[in-house]
Structure formats: C-alpha cells, structure tokens
Amino acid sequence: MYAIIETGGKQINVKVGDSIFVEKLEANEGETVTIDKVLLVNGEKLKIGNPYVKGAKVEAKVEKQGKGKKIIIYTYRAKHNGRHRKKGHRQPYTRVLIENIIV
C-alpha cells in the first residue's frame, strides 16, 4: 500500500516504514503528526482525490528536526563597483517515519 501526500508545497510518494525529509513541521522529536492532505491511496483499490481523498490520513512519527547543507547565494551587477552580495542559507527540515496509512 502506498499514498501520495502533499506537505510543504511538495507531493511525496510514501509507504509504511519510509523515512522522508519534509519542510519543517511544528512538532517535537518523538511526537506523532497526522497528514490529511492525501492525494492518492493505492491499497486493495485505487482511490484518487479531487483534490484530496476524503477520510484518508497518514500518521508519521517525527524522528529529527534539523537544517540542510549551507548554500551560497552570490549576486553582483556587472560594471557596477560595489554591487556584490554574498549570503548563505540553511533550509530547516523535519525527518519523519511513516507509521500508518488510514483509508
């Protein structure tokens, strides 16, 4: 059985036992979160939502909160002295373990 969920503006294909990285969720490590934006569930029968499947949920346990690798943003304007800017960014994420898919 698998499901396609929407979280953090992204769509992710998940199965029970998967460990996935999603945009930061407001939950502590060890807590269980419920994701109710389920777009598709494929079990005994395929269910497709319009846009979401009614009554379908995915339960996940928060494993870790963290930050991704640092990326460097460097901008400049040619022929303009002093128009250089260097910034760094680390995107926060939440790692969750999919525990159950409820149809």
So where are the chain's domains?
2-102
Give the pLDDT confidence of 13-58 residue by residue, as tens digits: 999 999 999 999 999 999 999 999 999 999 889 999 999 999 999 9
**Closest by CA position to 100, among listed 34, 26, 6, 11:** 34
Q: Which two tokens stand for residue 24?
A: 């930061």
pLDDT at residue 12 above 90? Answer: yes
SS3 content of the chain, % helix, strand, coil (to 5): 0, 60, 40
Answer yes or no: are the C-beta atoms of 72 and 88 closer than 8 Å: yes
pLDDT at residue 82 above 90? Answer: no
State mean pLDDT over 68-96. 95
User: Residue 101: its pLDDT value, please?
Assistant: 94
